[in-house]
């Protein structure tokens, strides 16, 4: 069973000076100085890295997210399953994929590589899994030999077939992907891949990677909004609250009560100059 594919994830590149770009993009919105003046200050070293980091950190606590789209990363990803790839390509905003084609690539190994979940091994069915894959490999090779084009021969390939990606993703989307795919509600394989993407970014740009967390992380939403049942089973449930608990505390200790929004509240939003 040595034809099991092993996942690889590499941060290939990122747009230069990501922290400075975030700083200047946010600053442009909140400053009377022009972005040209801001960049002149950055380049002259008049704004410390600490100031840049703190400013970005404060902005990331707000819902102002479009400046995050101005920072971009490139990843090379290999040997993930077609099950994972189907989940991954559902992300459609702020991310661009190139994926290895089963139409143009003819897989020529005697035994095709595959990704096998640990659960098959735990169930003692790994030999059966590998046996089916061997028979699939043999049929696929026979199909190619018989002149069936690769794009049609691939119809016998399973979800376990490995695939490769070249991906460009901006910071806003990377945060969103971590929100939902580092959450234990996501499947183990995509969770592992996104964790490896985060680890790569942590090595290269730790100041940015610190914000890459599941949505319950202290640098993200901060609490779990999944079902109470899922929260109860999650290992992070020990250190992150569920939203129902926050409401209980609000009810118990808050100076106001959480009420259903009525017409009076909508009128208040409509009429009052709040800001």
Ligand X SMILES: Cc1cc2nc3c(=O)[nH]c(=O)nc-3n(C[C@H](O)[C@H](O)[C@H](O)COP(=O)(O)OP(=O)(O)OC[C@H]3O[C@@H](n4cnc5c(N)ncnc54)[C@H](O)[C@@H]3O)c2cc1C
**Alpha-carbon distance values, 115 to 20, 81, 124, 127 (Å):** 40, 6, 16, 13
Using CA atoms, how far apart are residues 224 and 231, in angstroms rounded to an integer? 7
93 binds ligand X (CB under 6 A): yes
256 a catalytic residue? no
Q: Which is nearer to ligand X, 47 or 180 (CB)?
A: 180
CA end-to-end span of the chain, whole Å? Answer: 64
176 binds ligand X (CB under 6 A): yes
Q: Which is nearer to ligand X, 17 or 180 (CB)?
A: 180
Q: Which is nearer to ligand X, 130 or 186 (CB)?
A: 186
Applying CB under 6 A, among 91, 106, 191, 243 the residue interacting with ligand X is: 91
Give least dist CB 91 to ligand X, A: 4
Kindly give the residue spans of alpha helices, DSSP state H, lying in the chain: 18-30, 35-43, 49-60, 82-88, 118-122, 126-145, 150-153, 171-181, 188-204, 206-209, 228-233, 243-253, 263-271
Catalytic residue among 27, 82, 181, 220: 181
- Interface residues for ligand X in 178-197 (CB under 6 A)? 180, 185-186
Applying CB under 6 A, among 16, 45, 63, 90 the residue interacting with ligand X is: 90
Q: Interface residues with ligand X (CB under 6 A)? A: 90-93, 173, 176, 180, 185-186
């Amino acid at each position: 069973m040595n034809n099991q594919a092993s996942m690889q994830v590499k941060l290939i590149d990122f747009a230069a000076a990501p922290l400075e770009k975030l700083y200047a993009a946010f600053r442009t919105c909140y400053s009377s100085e022009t972005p040209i003046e801001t960049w002149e200050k950055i380049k002259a070293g008049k704004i410390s890295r600490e100031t840049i980091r703190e400013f970005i950190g404060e902005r990331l606590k707000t819902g102002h997210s479009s400046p995050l789209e101005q920072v971009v990363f490139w990843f090379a990803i290999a040997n993930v399953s077609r099950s994972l790839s189907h989940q991954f390509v559902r992300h459609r905003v702020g991310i661009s994929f190139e994926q290895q084609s089963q139409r143009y690539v003819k897989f020529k190994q005697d035994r095709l590589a595959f990704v096998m979940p640990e659960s098959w091994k735990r169930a003692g069915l790994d030999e059966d899994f590998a046996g089916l894959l061997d028979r699939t490999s043999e049929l696929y090779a026979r199909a190619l030999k018989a002149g069936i084009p690769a794009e049609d021969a691939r119809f016998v390939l399973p979800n376990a077939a490995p695939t490769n990606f070249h991906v460009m993703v901006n910071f806003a989307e990377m945060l969103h992907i971590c929100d939902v795919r580092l959450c234990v509600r996501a499947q183990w394989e995509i969770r592992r891949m996104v964790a490896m993407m985060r680890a790569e970014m942590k090595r290269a740009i730790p100041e940015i990677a610190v914000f890459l967390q599941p949505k319950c992380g202290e640098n993200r939403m901060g609490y779990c909004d999944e079902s109470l049942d899922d929260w109860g089973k999650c290992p992070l449930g020990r250190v992150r609250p569920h939203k129902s608990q926050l409401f209980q505390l609000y009810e118990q200790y808050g100076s106001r009560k959480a009420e259903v929004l009525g017409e009076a509240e909508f009128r208040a939003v409509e009429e009052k100059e709040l800001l």
